[in-house]
Structure 1
Amino acid sequence: MRHTSLDAMIKSLPAPPKGPIAVVMVEDDVEVDTTLRHTLQSGFKLVLALMPSQFDLPRDLQETVVRIDYDMSRDGAMEIALNTLIAAAPGEWIYYCYNAEFLFFPFCETRSVGEMLAFHAEERRGSMLTYIIDLYAEDLAQNPHAVSLETAHLDRSGYYALARPDPAKENHPKERQLDFFGGLRWRYEEHVPAARRKIDRIAIFRAKAGLTIRDDHTFSDEEYNTYSCPWHHNITATICSFRTAKALKANPGSTYDIDTFKWHNSAPFEWHSRQLLDLGLMEPGQWF
């Protein structure tokens, strides 16, 4: 099904959309099909593809994905889309990502995203912290855009967190909020604006009246920006993403400085949640 705008899609529904809902925001034509198929396989009830009108989708995805013509290059495109959807689907879980990004959560090979969110809701959580783990091709000569599913690598170490200061309280640390860093944005930070160096994103959240997302991927409700509840650790997930590698190779200011993304802490990506759990890049909390 295809719609000319997000508003047109919402108006066409006889009732508010039911979740969990996935929103895939398409910025270019790299791995769009694989991103959508991976998202569908995770168990989302509704998958929305916000993408330029000139892009094509295979027939099977035309039948399973709700396509919405949308220009991701305009200012505030992410916030406008998500805030519109939040207002239209109160109470529903929403996940968002970009193309060439792949969601992994604990035990995702045998459990659905719906099962995970049901448990997360029982713990009285309305949001879930996800880490953006950079993927990159092993050989940039063969893959000049830095994307290769077959030879994808990640950094197995080099991640760290800093206290998140609160400007409203003389920059004292915010409760249960941290800024996380690592991956390509850390190794090539001279090419990345300071405001875009964090790798944390509240990519899974429950919509509610009055909630809005900001351009730094944080929410107007500060509790949504926390990594866990006060009494124990909660589930976290990862989004394994080629987005930063693509940007560094597409940017004229950085592409000629980078012959390879590999270093001594690179490891082949196994496309399995076990590897991410073993590396400490996500945790199951109390979900066993």
Structure 2
Amino acid sequence: MRYSSLSDFISKGRQALAKGPVALVMAEDEVELDSTIRHNLDAGFKAVVVFAMPHFTLAGDIVERVHRIDYATSDESALERAVNAVISAAGPIWIYYCYNAEYLFYPFCESRTVSEMLAFNTEERRDTILTYVIDLYAGDLGQHPGAVSLEDAHLDKSGYYALSRKDRWNNDLDRQMDFYGGLRWRFEEHIPKPRRRIDRVSLFRNKPGLELLPGHLFNDPEYNTYSCPWHHNLTAAVCSFRTAKALKRNPGSTFDIETFRWHNSVPFEWHSQQLLDLGLMEPGQWF
């Protein structure tokens, strides 16, 4: 189903938000857009909503399986406006959001659906799942100058760290941390400071009054926490080519980067076990 605008979707397509979990895909360009959508469909999302420029094309095998909204995805705050419109229109469902060329991995995702994971998280009285955005990049930029290749994907196996998140008075916020690493850390001179964090609450349960703020934070502080007070919770990873793609597309950085590979680069195996072994997500109490 295709909609001419966000308001058209809210008016005519709200039924897509009746039952979750729902995946929202913000298509900044057409790079690996189809594979991103297929990945979300395979994960078991009840509906996939795609925000895309009118001239973007989708593969024939998925065009009838998604709700496609013509949307100016390059506008400032386009993501927040889209997600908040869905928040206002939907009931208490689970929502996931990502960009194109980003792939959600969670513990045991090869054998369990996203609905199973969210059911477990709900039983733990958690309304969010913290995700770490793990940078992917092509190992050979000569072969893949756009830095995107599913077959030659690499990631950093180390170099990740966290700092306590502060309030306006420089006090530590309860169970909130800013996470860093990957390309945003190694090439931080090319990344504006507000965009260097790799933490994102990509999966959340909707509720009245909820709002997504700039910087991938919510207006409810509890939604920005990494775990509940009594034990560690399940976390997930969003494996993303977005930063690599931007660094090679930006004239200010592309000529400074001959390769993204370094001594801590390893091929990405496209399997949750690798991410668990590297400590880039954890199952919590879910086994």
Instruction: Using structure 2 for the length normalisation, give the TM-score.
Output: 0.98
What are the within-5 Å matches in structure 2 for residues 128-147 of structure 1? 128-147=129-148
Deviation readout 1:7-63 (Å, 9 max, x if unpaired):
211211474532100000000110010000001001000000100000111222111
Name the CA distance, whole Å, in 2 between partners of 1:84 and 1:57.
23
State the match for 1:50 in structure 2.
Answer: 51
Partner deviation per Cα, 1:170-216 (whole Å, 9 max, x = no partner): 21110000000000000000000000000000000011110000111
Q: 1:14 to 1:199 in 2, by over 3 A?
A: closer
What is the CA-CA distance between 1:5 and the residue it aligns to? 1.4
Equivalent-residue separation in structure 1 for 2:253 and 2:189 (angstroms) = 9
Tell me how far apart the structure 2 counterparts of residues 45 and 64 of structure 1 sit (CA, whole Å).
10
Matches within 5 A, 1:185-196: 185-196=184-195
Residue 82 of structure 1: aligned partner: 83
Listed one character per residue, the Cα deviations across residues 62-110 of structure 1 (whole Å, up to 9, x for unaligned) are 1111111111111110110000000111201000000000000000000
- Once superposed, which parts of structure 1, at least 4 consecutive aligned residues long, lie more than 4 Å away? none
Closer/same/farther in 2, CA of residues 14 and 32 from structure 1, 3 Å limit = closer
Letter in 2 for 1:244: T
Identify the residue that residue 29 of structure 2 maps to in structure 1. 28
- Structure 1 CA distance, aligned partners of 2:109 and 2:212? 26
Q: Tell me the SS of whatever aligns to 2:98.
A: strand
Residues 109-128 of structure 1 aligned to structure 2 (within 5 Å)? 109-128=110-129
Q: Is 1:230 matched up with 2:193?
A: no
Partner SS, residue 150 of structure 1: coil
In the alignment, the residues of structure 2 paired with residue 244 and residue 123 of structure 1 have an alpha-carbon distance, to the nearest angstrom, of 33
Deviation at 1:140, TM superposition (A): 0.4
| Residue 5 (structure 2) aligns with | 5
Given that residues 227 and 233 in structure 2 are in contact (C-alpha distance below 8 angstroms), is that contact kept between their aligned partners in structure 1?
yes
**Structure 1 residues 190, 59: closer, same or farther in 2, change over 3 A?**
same
SS at match of 2:245: helix
CA root-mean-square deviation: 0.8
Residues 231-251 of structure 1 show CA distances to partners (whole Å, capped at 9, x for unaligned) of: 001110000000000000001
Kindly indicate whether the alpha-carbon contact (under 8 Å) linking 2:14 and 2:90 is maintained by their aligned counterparts in 1: no
Give the conservation status (yes or no) of the 8 Å contact 2:155–2:266.
yes
- Tell me the residue number matched to 1:209: 208
**Stretch moving more, 197-206 or 59-68:** 59-68
SS in 2 for 1:148: coil
**Which whole-Å CA distance do the structure 2 matches of 1:280 and 1:61 have between them?**
33
8 A Cα contact 2:51 2:68, kept in partner:
yes
Conservation of the 8 A alpha-carbon contact between 2:154 and 2:265: yes
Describe the shift of the 1:14–1:283 C-alpha distance in structure 2 as closer, same or farther (beyond 3 A): closer
Please say if residues 14 and 89 of structure 2, whose CA atoms lie closer than 8 Å, have aligned partners that are also in contact.
no
For residues 64 and 244 of structure 1, the distance between their equivalents in structure 2, rounded to whole angstroms, comes to 28
> 1: CA distance between counterparts of 2:7 and 2:122?
28
> What's the offset of the Cα at 1:119?
0.5
SS of residue paired to 1:142: coil
Q: Secondary structure of 2:213's partner?
A: coil
The residue aligned with 1:71 is 72
Counterpart AA for 1:176: R
CA distance in 1, matches of 2:273, 2:32: 23
* Runs of 5+ consecutive residues of structure 2 not aligned to the other structure: none
CA distance in 1 between counterparts of 2:13 and 2:67 reads 12
Report if the CA contact (8 A) 2:157-2:265 is conserved: yes
- 1:102 corresponding residue in structure 2: 103
Q: What SS is found at the alignment partner of 2:11? A: helix
Counting matched residue pairs gives: 286
Tell me the distance in 2 between the aligned counterparts of 1:20 and 1:203.
12
Structure 1: which 5+ residue stretches go unaligned?
Answer: none
1:19 aligned onto 2:20: yes
SS in 2 for 1:161: strand
